Amino acid sequence: MTKKDRIRNEKQLKKAFARASMHKWGDEFKGSDSWHIFKVMAEFVEGFERLNKIGPCVSIFGSARTKPGHRHYKLGEEIAYRLTKSGYGIISGGGLGIMEAANRGAQRAGGKSVGLNIMLPFEQKANAFIDFDKLLNFKYFFVRKVMFVRYAQGFIVLPGGFGTLDELMEALTLIQTEKIARFPIVLVDRAYWSGLLEWWKKTILPEGNIDKSDFEFFHVVDTPAEAVAIINKFYKKYLLKPNF
């Protein structure tokens, strides 16, 4: 960047800050914020009305980028199939990858296949294995996450990225702070999660930022049989109910 370009940029920034200081930000955005409240309410109402009728379900998370044929995709489909045969419905994020695998497994087993799709700028496409009457589209991530937790009797977490980690941490935080009832959380593929768990044990735990007992909130497995067994064992002790 030349000296002339820097001077021009500085002048443009000064003008922008000067214009910004003249605005009354609260007044300018007040109307827009008020309308957002009604949009959020509408998503909550539709979600509560439709999901309140689905019965016991397990939410399955994982990467949207996982391709059919990948071993993680096959794991997700098989876990969903076995859970459905055990009497649970399956809730996924509605998109492709692990989400598609979960819905495919549920549909193959003849059970309830729910998709909570999120509308994104690049238009996440809902997969073809969601029951027609059980596809919901959300604009707001936080409303969608409430639905995942509120109507799940367990979480199956397969390998994924930031979104999967966000959903996992949300569930762990809510259980740790007793904002929701405790329910089983199962991480699938020990090798994939080992680095994260090691960091928790060697860095966060010694600092006192989590407690040793927090590791009891989740299980780590490698096979569909192990994952389903943990969910079933937990609910031999408790009545199935929404996580209100």
**Cβ-based neighbours of 212, under 8 Å, separated by 6 or more:** 205
Structural domain harbouring 53: 46-235
Residues 202, 244 contacting (CB under 8 angstroms): no
> What is the rounded distance in angstroms from the CA atom of residue 162 to the CA atom of residue 173?
16
- pTM metric for this prediction: 0.83
Q: Is the residue at 9 inside a domain?
A: no
**Nearest to residue 211, comparing CAs of 175, 243, 164, 181?**
175
Residue 241 in domain:
no
- Over residues 174-204, the pLDDT tens digits come to 999 999 888 999 999 999 999 999 999 999 9
Count the domains in the chain.
1
- With respect to residue 163, please indicate whether it lies within any of the assigned structural domains: yes
Residue 50 lies in a domain: yes
Q: What are the E-state strand segments in the chain? A: 57-61, 89-92, 113-118, 135-138, 155-157, 185-188, 218-221
Report the percentage of the chain scoring pLDDT > 90.
75
CATH number at residue 61: 3.40.50.450
Q: Indicate whether 156 belongs to any domain.
A: yes
Q: Assess if residue 186 is contained within a domain.
A: yes
Q: Is residue 97 in a domain? A: yes
pLDDT in tens, 80-139: 999 999 999 999 999 999 999 999 999 999 999 999 999 887 656 899 999 999 999 999
Give the CA radius of gyration of the chain: 22
Asked if the structure places residue 7 within a domain, the reply is: no
